[in-house]
Structure 1
Amino acid sequence: MTAVDDTPRTERQADGPVLEATGVTMRFGGLTAVNNVGMTVRQGEILGLIGPNGAGKTTFFNCLTGLYKPTEGRVRLLGNDLPPKPRAVVMAGMARTFQNIRLFGNMTALENVMVGRYCRTSSMALTSILRGPKFRREERETRARAQELLDFVGLGKSTEHLARNMPYGDQRRLEIARALATDPKLLLLDEPTAGMNPRETQQASDLIFRIRDSGLAVVVIEHDMRFIFNLCDRVLCLVNGEVLVEGTPNEVQSDPRVIEAYIGSAADDEEGDE
């Protein structure tokens, strides 16, 4: 993770898609939250997912990561169909963080990251109970990898701090370290800078660039438009559960449909006045 891939970005992206989602639709009774959404993420790319509140961004994330079984559509990671089961998705190489921080508050920073690592261990129940040689070896390797990831995200000095006592921005980075512990090929970040001050936001941006440069593909949901447009290679905008526009940051931020989706149209203002 700490080694940086020096291959030019254009060459990394040419290696092919990491994620291909086609026709993803999610209905809850008579409500269609996500409607025929497609998305392709290439290796070594940062893709932004934006849209006003209620646009279906997190629901789409949940469909990708197995928390929801899509009503229709297909999700493929590295060319393989993903079953709608969170553990299977993680094992296949996709990890995520959440809008609301979901750390184990009474565990240390190191222990939280170690939890993420256990999906890559193979010790069975009996070996773990008896603490056999294989268990002890994997435990040492897990602890060393967790410390390496804490160093990578800038929390190397917080190893023994309880997660609940850590500053908010550090908790966000700890969640990312735990996700990285699963050895993903694709990392999904759901509003990673929510509630952060400008300094913490800049740290988050720098960290995401380092993750990208290590060879991972990253998808980011975010409401901070300055953050997203400075960060991403491409941006996809959802409105009412459908793709409104997809393109480069410059193309998306200058599209009048995107502006209207966020601030409304002149016709909306006139209706409000009436």
Structure 2
Amino acid sequence: MTETTSTSPPTSTSTGEWLLQARGVTMRFGGLTAVDNVDFGVREQEIVGLIGPNGAGKTTFFNCLTGMYRPTSGQVLFRGRRLPPKPQAVTRAGVARTFQNIRLFNNMTALENVMVGRYCRTKSGAISAILRGPRFHREERETRERAYELLDFVGLRRAADHLARNLPYGDQRRLEIARALATDPSLLLLDEPTAGMNPQETREATDLIFRIRERGLAVVVIEHDMRFIFGVCDRVVCLVRGRVLSEGTPTQVQTDPRVVEAYIGGSEASAEEDSPAADKAAQPTEEAPLGGEES
């Protein structure tokens, strides 16, 4: 874990107002504790990294923040109000996410994928859609224009009419980010956004995250690429066995002997988020988020 200098150093916003706060969040699957009494916060326009060895509970924690799992105990606040454990309500409140395993609509075009993400902000009901009245046509036009704008933003305008399944891996990652941005979030949660990317794609992902922050968003990133994390984040939180082991600036965390030991020493996982036992015992909420986890 060596310190690196990004081409666009992050500007810390750690003195801003709290955007999201998790208080005492615990998630148990039967006898397994995947997340253990975690306190966590994100301020306006802050980029926070969430790291930890395999089995630390990072993705499970994301699922608690975004309503996919109902925490065993604790609460999640967004702009001071408690978030209900319902993905649709979380999305409407202004929290969007991507997934560790890409979850696009493979038989839709890139443009259509982004348009789907936008529909949580439209007001036309079923009757308007059937009758195709003036409101429907107006919102459809605005949704298409917004989708093109976001494809431009992530560098995929050229691929607007390509099926998602035919896009290169790195482009699929960027498309998933564009779809999340279509929900007009204030907070974007990215689960391993550079997984499987080559160095050039990772640099492009870094620049994209900085540009997202410039639009006024806060970002939380789960990532195993420490070079990426320490180059992009204002603050880093390290989870081990479902608990916060260390928190601070990138320099503070990467020089923390406990963090070094957690990675090099190979800490045992208590409840891996990909664990079959956890998947079997998990009881997601009734509503599934856009492209969300499948049961």
| CA shift digits 1:187-207 (9 cap, x unpaired) | 000000000111111111110
Distance 2:265 2:14 in 1: 35
The two structures, once aligned, show a CA RMSD in angstroms of 1.2
Counterpart of 1:124 in structure 2 is 125
Counterpart of 1:87 in structure 2 is 88
Counterpart of 2:57 in structure 1 is 56
Q: After the TM superposition, which residues 240-259 of structure 1 pair with which residues of structure 2 at under 5 Å, given as runs? A: 240-259=241-260
- Off by >2 Å, runs of 4+ in structure 1: 12-15
Question: In structure 1, what residue type is equivalent to 2:76?
Answer: V
Contact kept in structure 1, 2:100 and 2:193, CA below 8 Å: yes
Contact kept in structure 2, 1:9 and 1:44, CA below 8 Å: no
Deviation at 1:9, TM superposition (A): 4.8
Distance 1:104 1:26 in 2: 29
Counterpart of 1:37 in structure 2 is 38
Deviation at 1:15, TM superposition (A): 3.6
1:100 aligns with 2:101: yes
Counterpart of 2:274 in structure 1 is none
| CA shift digits 1:32-72 (9 cap, x unpaired) | 11000011101111000000000000000000000000001
Deviation at 1:172, TM superposition (A): 0.1
Of 126-135 and 256-265, the range deviating more from structure 2: 256-265
Q: After the TM superposition, which residues 137-216 of structure 1 pair with which residues of structure 2 at under 5 Å, given as runs? A: 137-216=138-217
Structure 1: 5+ residue stretches without partners: 1-7, 266-274
Contact kept in structure 1, 2:11 and 2:234, CA below 8 Å: no
* Count of aligned pairs between the two proteins: 257
Question: In structure 1, what residue type is equivalent to 2:180?
Answer: A
Contact kept in structure 2, 1:49 and 1:220, CA below 8 Å: yes
Higher relative CO (CA 8 A, sep ≥ 6), structure 1 or 2? 2
Deviation at 1:156, TM superposition (A): 1.2
Of 156-165 and 56-65, the range deviating more from structure 2: 156-165
User: Are residues 13 and 237 of structure 1, via their aligned partners in 2, closer, same or farther at CA, if it must alter by over 3 Å?
Assistant: closer
Q: More helix by proportion, 1 or 2?
A: 1
Distance 1:32 1:13 in 2: 30
Contact kept in structure 2, 1:188 and 1:219, CA below 8 Å: yes
Distance 1:105 1:123 in 2: 25
Question: In structure 2, what residue type is equivalent to 1:206?
Answer: D
Name which one, 1 or 2, has greater alpha-carbon Rg: 1
Distance 1:67 1:127 in 2: 30
Q: After the TM superposition, which residues 221-236 of structure 1 pair with which residues of structure 2 at under 5 Å, given as runs? A: 221-236=222-237
Secondary structure of the 2:219 match is strand
Calculate the TM-score normalised by the size of structure 1.
0.92
Distance 1:80 1:181 in 2: 23
Distance 2:128 2:99 in 1: 33
Counterpart of 2:71 in structure 1 is 70
Distance 2:206 2:11 in 1: 17
Calculate the TM-score normalised by the size of structure 2.
0.86
Question: In structure 2, what residue type is equivalent to 1:223?
Answer: H
Distance 1:29 1:234 in 2: 32
